[in-house]
Amino acid sequence: MAKSLYPVPCPRCDEAQNVLPGGFDPEQAPFGPVTCMVCGHSFTQDEYRQGMAEIAAKRNAAQGGASNVVPLRPN
46-58: pLDDT as tens digits: 999 999 998 888 8
3-state secondary structure of 35: strand
**pTM over cut 0.85:** no
pLDDT in tens, 8-49: 999 999 999 999 988 888 888 889 899 999 999 999 999 999
User: Which phi-psi region, left, alpha or beta, contains residue 53 (left: φ > 0; alpha: ψ -120 to 50)?
Assistant: alpha
Using the Cα atoms of residue 23, residue 27, residue 8 and residue 38 in order, give the sign of their dihedral: negative
